[in-house]
A = this chain, B = another copy of it.
């Protein structure tokens, strides 16, 4: 996989514009000025002092999936908007909290929330966004309220995935199966929820909801595996993180664990190296990165990501969905896995 800066599907911008007013309204409903400020900063709308950045934050992939899933079942875009707001708020809840736990210093080329506002305030703002996500669905229509059990179960899966991630960090003997289960919770759960929640709000029948859930789940696994690849060979200018960030942190991500699972000389040397803790110097980081590649860890992960993307697209094609939404779902899927050309 080579890293590509590709043109985003038009659906992403269209839906971000559609969802943005409702997202702004949800954040503005936070009574506490400090929580509102941190939420706006986290979403990329303002700097630390509250001055507008003119930006609308990230790519808003999860809101796009939510609205497209409503459109794909002929429910209309509007039916998916509250759900889109809720999943984006939950996503930012998890980013704020995970950055505290992972001691990540930068996100999207800016200081993370806890670096900018302090750890306590970042934890509080995360909880405020989680609570607001529930409030958005609760205070909307019965159609939106129907989505609450799915959203809440998804939040529990996110929490469980992050907990497993932290527990794996201290272990040398993590298996690929454990890493993939953990990543399913951390990333696939919310993408799966996003891909079905708009259709659920629109009243789609169970088989369609199941198919969309499976699509989102496979897509989420593929997306996380690509993220893991970027954690080994990503360009800081694109990822907003330092190069080889996962290798540097000694993180047992999929490429690393896949590399360790091999029986090559590179595999054995990598194991010896990492047993001593995270690489200490820049040349150690470079050496470890090379060993992950030589031991086939990167290749395995890229192939696994491709397989999961293909599975996702098969689930999608099997469903009786409306165009152009179905095509846009596929385009978004290919785009976020970096396989759109």
Contacts and interface: CB of A to CB of B under 8 A. Distances in A.
A85 B196 CA distance: 30
Contacts of A134: 134, 148, 152
A95 interface: no
B130 A138 contact: no
B124 A156 contact: no
A175 interface: no
A31 interface: yes
Main secondary structure of the interface of A (DSSP, over half): helix
| Copies of this chain held together in the complex | 2
Interface stretch (A10-18, A56-64, A162-170, A328-336): A162-170
A119 B131 contact: no
A128 B156 contact: yes
A82 to B, nearest CB: 15
A80 to B, nearest CB: 20
B148 A138 contact: yes
A263 interface: no
Contacts of A119: 100-101
5 contacts: A93-B127, A97-B127, A100-B123, A127-B127, A134-B134
